[in-house]
Each structure stands twice: as C-alpha cells, then as structure tokens.
Chains A and B, each alone.
Chain A
Amino acid sequence: MPDADYRLYLMASAAIFTIGFYSMLTQAHLLRRIMAFNVMGCGVFLLFITLAARAPGPVPDPVPHAMVLTGIVVSVCATGLALALAGRVQTVTGKTELEPGEDAGGRSGAAHHGSSA
C-alpha cells in the first residue's frame, strides 16, 4: 500500500478519536457518552491496526493486532459495566444524565436505595 494511504488511515483514526472525545465532553445523556467512549476506542484501534500494517515484513505485525483484540474485549467489559451503572442511575434517580450539583442528588439517591433494600 502506498504511503499516502497509511496517512489517510492515520488521519481518519485521529478524526474518529476527536469526534468521540468531542461528544464525550458535550453530550449529557449517559448512553451517548458511553457511545462516545466507544467511538474514541475505535479511533485508537484503527491507529494500532494501521501501524501494524505499516510495519515492514511479509505479514502485519501481530503484536498490535493482539493488543487491539485485548482492547476490544476490555472496552466491551467497560461498556457493559457502564451500561449497568447507567441503568442503575436511571432506576435510582429517574434521570439519564448526571446533574452538575451531584451532592444532594447522590445523597437522596443513596437514601432511596437504602429504603428500598
């Protein structure tokens, strides 16, 4: 593959990461944030795969591939846990976003949880 193609993939990975990072900062809905976090991860995976393909040799470098495979599983785990937490936030507070002044909401949420248990 000519070098310009690798440059395209590298810039695409930076773009994907930036899109995810921007949404992570601007979106309040927890589900959207979790998705943004996954988009950021995809950017990193694309970067790794591109670097693996660019390495000299007859086949792509297997070490970044293995790291991406590990990364995918870890990001699936983190997403699953984050979704469970977001679901819990919605059950306890009835909201799908975190409030800026979290202190009062957090305490009343904890009290609510205590009474229901």
Chain B
Amino acid sequence: MGALSWAALSLPAKPPGLAKASLDRLGESGVAHPVTAVLLNYRGYDTLLEVGVLLLALAGAWSLGRGEQPAENPQSRPLLLSLLRVLLPMLLLAAGHLLWIGAFAPGGAFQGGALLGGALVLLILGGLARRALKRERCLRAGLALGVLVFAGIAAVTMALTGGLLQYPPGAGGALILVIETAAMVSIGLALGLLYLGGQPPEGARRSLLATPPDHA
C-alpha cells in the first residue's frame, strides 16, 4: 500500500489533461456535455467495444447453461406487485429522461440502461417476465440492436468521412441520440438478463421446437 500511495502521490500535480482540448471542440461534437462527447464522439470506439463486451459477458453466461428464475407465484407477494405498479413506469420514464438529458447534463445510455436493467430484474423477481423470457429470438434481437446500430453507423460514417466514428459535420447530435437509444435498450436487456446467471429457462414445448442454441 505504501508503494501504491507513493506512486499515486508522485503523479504530476498539474497534469496538462485533455479538458481544454475536449472543451474547445465541444461545439463540433453535436452534444453539450463533455463526458457524453468523449464517450460517443471523441472516443466512440471505446463505447462501441464496451457494448460488445457487455454482449460477450452475456454470451459467456448463457453458454454455462440455463439460469433459474424465482418459481414463486407472484400473487403471493402483493406488496412487491403494488410496488412494481408504481415503480416500473417511473423507472421507464427516468431511463428516457436520462437518455435525453445525456446530451447536455450527466446522463446517457449507460445510466438509462442501468435503470432499464433494474426494471427488468424487478419484473423477473415479481415473476412477471416469464412469458417475455421465453421469446428468446426477440431477446437476442434486442441484445444485438445496440452493437448493430452502433457498428452500422460507424460503417456508414466511415464511408462518408473516412474516419472511424467521425461524424459528418452537423449530424453528430442526431447520430449520437440514435446510437444511445439503441445502446440503452441493449444495455438494459443485457444487465437484466445477466441477473438470471444463464440462458432464460425454457418451456418444455418450446425446447422441442427450438433450433439448437448458437453461441457463436
């Protein structure tokens, strides 16, 4: 610990930092909040890979087998259900609000996605997500949405401007909002589904019809 403290204390007291560079070009980035600009414009590839890491973690968890969900009858927990009735709309609203204000205040896709993930965990705990969890194809599409939209926009803007995630002038704000919306859905789904600790449990009939799971 002594060595670590020494290393941390011996860092230059007045580092040049990138604050000035990032604030100077903020007007061109399409958003008004520097952290969002760093995440989705200056260093957009970080965020693209990060959404990929999230997907990879979930694929890893799914490859371990089927998870479990509480088998309890939701009607036996009236308090949880009435709490959910109030909490879920507020969580969804707050997620959308965080996504929108991310352009000019602290917030964005990850914060909104975390709230969506929490909402999904609550749904699973309340036993209300049972039918949704059986529709695995929809879940997979939702999970892949973030990476696909992000990578698609990266490919198109690369063809237009020649730089990876270098947005055409003036289009940054709209593109960032599209990416963030898609990423938020995927992040929320991935975080919520990680809670199961494995692939969603399947119904008996479905497992006979389903194609073999493809973890590639």
Contacts and interface: CB of A to CB of B under 8 A. Distances in A.
Given A57-B17, A61-B19, A73-B50, A88 B9 contact: no
A54 to B, nearest CB: 7
Contacts of B17: 52, 55-57, 61, 63
A55 B19 CA distance: 8
A59 B34 contact: yes
Given A7-B9, A15-B1, A70 B15 contact: no
A3 B58 CA distance: 43
A72 B56 CA distance: 16
A84 B60 contact: yes
B194 A80 contact: yes
B205 interface: no
Contacts of B39: 66, 69-70
Q: Which of B7, B43, B65 has the most CB of A within 10 A?
A: B65
Interface in B173-193: 187, 190-191
A18 B1 contact: yes
A47 B10 CA distance: 13
Interface in A58-102: 58-63, 65-67, 69-70, 72-74, 76-78, 80-81, 83-85, 87-88
Nearest to B56: A77
Nearest to A74: B53
Contact of A69 (B4, B110, B197): B110
Given A14-B8, A84-B197, A59 B47 contact: no
Interface in B1-36: 1, 4-5, 7-9, 11, 13-20, 22-23, 34-35
13 contacts: A11-B9, A14-B1, A55-B18, A59-B19, A59-B23, A62-B38, A63-B22, A66-B39, A69-B39, A73-B54, A80-B61, A80-B194, A83-B197
Contacts of B19: 55-57, 59-63
Contacts of A17: 4
B83 interface: no
A70 B110 CA distance: 9
The A interface is mostly helix, strand or loop, or mixed, namely helix
A10 interface: yes
Contacts of B23: 57-59, 62
B5 A10 contact: yes
A13 interface: yes
B201 interface: no
A10 B9 contact: yes
Contacts of A77: 53-54, 56-58, 190, 194
A78 B56 CA distance: 10
Given A14-B5, A69-B110, A87-B197, A81 B61 contact: yes
A62 B22 contact: yes
A11 B5 contact: yes
Contacts of A73: 50, 53-54, 110, 187
A31 interface: no
Nearest to A78: B57
B66 to A, nearest CB: 11
